[in-house]
Amino acid sequence: MKALWLIPAFWVSTAHALTFEDCLDLEKSNAPLVQQRDCYKRLAAPAKAPIKQTKAAPAKQAAKALNEGETSLLLSQWDPEGNGMLSAYRQNYLLPISNSSNPNNAPTSPNPNNRVPYSYPLDNTEAKFQFSFKSRLWRDDNRDWAMWFGYTQQSFWQFWDPSHSRPFRESNYEPELIASKRFTKESSGLAPKILNVAIDHQSNGQSNPRSRSWNRIYVQAGFEDDHFDGGKLIVLPRIWARIFQESDPTQNDNPDITHYLGYGDIQLIYVNGYELSAIARIRSLQLDYAYPFDKILNYFSPDWHSDFNFHLQYFTGYGESLIDYNYRQSTWGVGVSLPLK
């Protein structure tokens, strides 16, 4: 008799679809109550939906591809959305020691009104610093176009000359209005990233005979290679034209300034854990090297940190400052700087 109910029980357990009649057959065959109860429980249980083999839904596109500005140094620097009210523009550094091969004790100019009589011998060693920032005035919704106000100040301070009360020998003030275009399309190699068109004024804020000033309009392109030996190579060529030049030669502080400073410059920047840059004009060259203080301090203690760079600078040629636009000298300096971001 036991074999008789085992047969329908086996059939019930292996059936693809359990019905009420199957449970009745177990009851009629005097199957154990446990078997009958199990049958009715399985019958009352909700049927599981069959697993359908559906095609995988196509992957959704990312809301936005990784903005190249997050990996491109130039695009990040000129991102109107990510730079807030103020952001770094050109180099920001302080060189407590800047030594000149031949200080300019008697600045001159073709304009007789701007020939400075010899006063006293300047110290060969002074302090030099530069701070530079920009602020966004306007941008479009796509963050491709923006208008910026830029300001750079460079000062030469005879800090090591207490006998003459440590005077500021020269300061140059340079406000700019810059229209900037970013190129965010992905590309390989040395690709264009920015294009800037600007109106630029530079002066030393002095009265005659020490007054020096000029106005320019310039166009600057920015190229960057994001995969150059593990670092970043940036190339910034710029051309300019002098504008609003005084027609009266007696009012022109530096009529031959383009002869010494030319009609453009080119800057090369290489970043790979350190920063190496070169700025070349027709008659001058400036080299800068910056190394993170953080890495230097870690040699002594992993708990020591710094946000500054150790900075070395070398300049040779004409026009380190406006008062020296037609004066040749070589200087080297050592100090600290803020890193490029």
User: Would you name the residues annotated as active-site residues?
Assistant: 201, 203
Strand (E) or helix (H) holding 208: none
Query: Cα separations (Å) of 40 from 3, 20, 29?
Result: 21, 8, 15
Contact 209, 227 (CB under 8 A): no
Residue matched to tokens 């596109």: 61
The count of other CB atoms within 10 Å of the CB of residue 200 is 18
Sequence-distant (6+) residues with CB within 8 A of 291 are 274, 275, 309, 310
Sequence-distant (6+) residues with CB within 8 A of 151 are 89, 132, 133, 134, 173, 174, 175, 176
Question: Please, what's the b/e burial string for 157-175 (b: 16 or more CB within 10 A of its CB; e: otherwise)?
Answer: bbbebeeeeeeebbbbbbe
Q: Which two tokens stand for residue 135?
A: 């602020």
Residue matched to tokens 């040699």: 299
Query: Cα separations (Å) of 330 from 99, 104, 189, 285?
Result: 8, 11, 35, 10
DSSP 3: H
Sequence-distant (6+) residues with CB within 8 A of 298 are 304
The whole-angstrom separation of Cα 165 and Cα 143 is 49
